[in-house]
Amino acid sequence: MRRAYKYAVLTAMIVSTLALALAASAGGLGYALPFPAVRNLAYWYLRTTYNPFMPKFTASAPEAVTAIVWDYRGLDTLFETSVFFLAIIASMALMRGIEVRAPESINLSKYGMSAIVKTVTRITVAIILAASASIALHGQLTPGGGFQGGATAAVAPLVIIVIFSLYFAVGSGIKKKSMLTLRTLGLLGIGVTSFAVIVAGLILGKAAYVFQNQPKEAAPIGLPSHILGVPMGGTLLLFNIFEFLAVAAGFTIVFLLLSVPEESVRKVLEGGEGHD
Amino acid sequence: MIDVNAFLFSVLVFSLIMNLGISLYGIFWRPSLVKKIIALTILGDTANVLAIVVGYRAWIAPNRPPIPPVLTTWKPTAADLSKFSSLAVDPLPQALVLTAVVIGLAVTVFLVFLTIQVYRLHGTTDVRKIAKLKG
């Protein structure tokens, strides 16, 4: 009976999907579904993202997505970064009092997987880090940027923890405190970069906006758009580097905390955490 | 007369909407916190795909598909620019989704920590039992 009910629900969902799709493609919505053109706003973004003929409007990055993320809608991304910051801080607050630390006099070679896996991982980690740095640093030229590069780079410590053990990771410098420092540096860099042009404007005696990238009509100042003929996107490159640091280090912290052995966490919890 | 491509595209859109419904069922009706988190990630990913699909544009001609919103020349002429803006898909949903993916991962990690601590302290992830806990 219950099985028949499940199949009936499944069939009803598939049939209604197909029926709604049929109605929509027959003109039920009033328009065809793959829209024939992008909206005017998107057209404006595509038109101005890298346009040497409109120097007062361009973001000077051939990649429109990065230009939107850190130039046209930079404030959105700043607050997204603060949500990320708060989520990581909240995770760390939940796990407060729990130390990520290797026991003294430990034989690291006993832990982890076999020698073959470890050797392959040594090579792979280098490749992961190189690829993630390339994703982050070429954010203004090719698809990619700080968020994607950082999420890719965070895979490297995760692989190290799984293959070599947590104690090896902590012993080789992937510590909670150092990652926290790195992440704070990244966030600080984002904050400094958003004020970089306004500070330059104050020094040079010109008007400028917060979060400005390229020269605008009433604020004729901006960071260099090209270095050695390669488009750098002004502040976009700096934002990508700092966001890369913040995201990679933030995720490394939570991976470290997630892989703390269950016994030591329970010891802290049963030892009356929060009562002293 | 029904266009086959438009029909298939509509099937994609409506199956994404059905997927949203399934994930909402998982969030509201499954009692386990772990399953709620899984359903929440499905909801988030479906919403992201839906946003990308909204930014897609139809093929101009059978041999001219849309291109990614990345300009591949560093010294573009006016003709390059007008070709680019007449072929590229909408970059705005992609920009929103790329941040939403990473933020979604961070929020999921926070929820996972919350669930782990609840399990460690009370030995259950069933919301019906957690609701009855005292103290």
Of B57, B69, B73, the CB nearest to A64: B69
Kindly state whether residue B104 falls inside one of the protein's structural domains. yes
Kindly state whether residue B81 falls inside one of the protein's structural domains. no
pTM of the model: 0.87
| Per-residue model confidence (pLDDT) at position A276 | 43
Q: Please provide the DSSP assignment of A154-214 as one string.
A: THHHHHHHHHH-HHHHHHTT--HHHHHHHHHHHHHHHHHHHTHHHHHHHHHT----TT--S
Q: CA B117, CA B112: separation in Å to the nearest integer?
A: 9
Identify the CA nearest to A180 among candidates A58, A276, A76, A95: A95
Nearest CA in chain B to A258: B113
Q: Where are the domains of chain A?
A: 1-36, 63-270
Nearest CA in chain B to A264: B120
pLDDT, one tens digit for every residue, chain A (276 residues): 788 988 998 898 888 888 888 888 777 776 667 777 788 888 888 888 888 888 788 888 888 888 888 888 888 888 889 999 899 999 989 888 787 777 777 777 778 888 899 999 999 999 999 999 999 998 888 888 888 999 999 999 999 999 988 888 888 888 888 888 999 999 999 989 888 888 888 888 888 888 888 877 777 777 777 778 778 778 888 899 999 999 999 999 999 998 888 888 888 887 755 444
Residue B135 has pLDDT above 70, yes or no: no
* CATH number for the domain harbouring residue B35: 1.10.287.3510
Question: CB distance A51–B81 less than 8 Å?
Answer: yes
Measured between beta carbons, the chain B residues lying within 8 angstroms of A76 are 96, 99
Q: State the smallest CA–CA distance between residue A186 and chain B in angstroms.
A: 16
**Average pLDDT over every residue of B87-102:** 89
Nearest CA in chain B to A48: B81
Q: State the smallest CA–CA distance between residue A137 and chain B in angstroms.
A: 16
Of A17, A83, A143, the CB nearest to B70: A143
Structural domain boundaries enclosing B124: 4-55+90-131
| Per-residue model confidence (pLDDT) at position A155 | 93
Measured between beta carbons, the chain B residues lying within 8 angstroms of A275 are none
Give B62-89 pLDDT, tens digit per residue: 888 888 888 888 888 888 888 888 888 8
Q: Assess contact for A53 and B78: CB atoms under 8 A.
A: yes
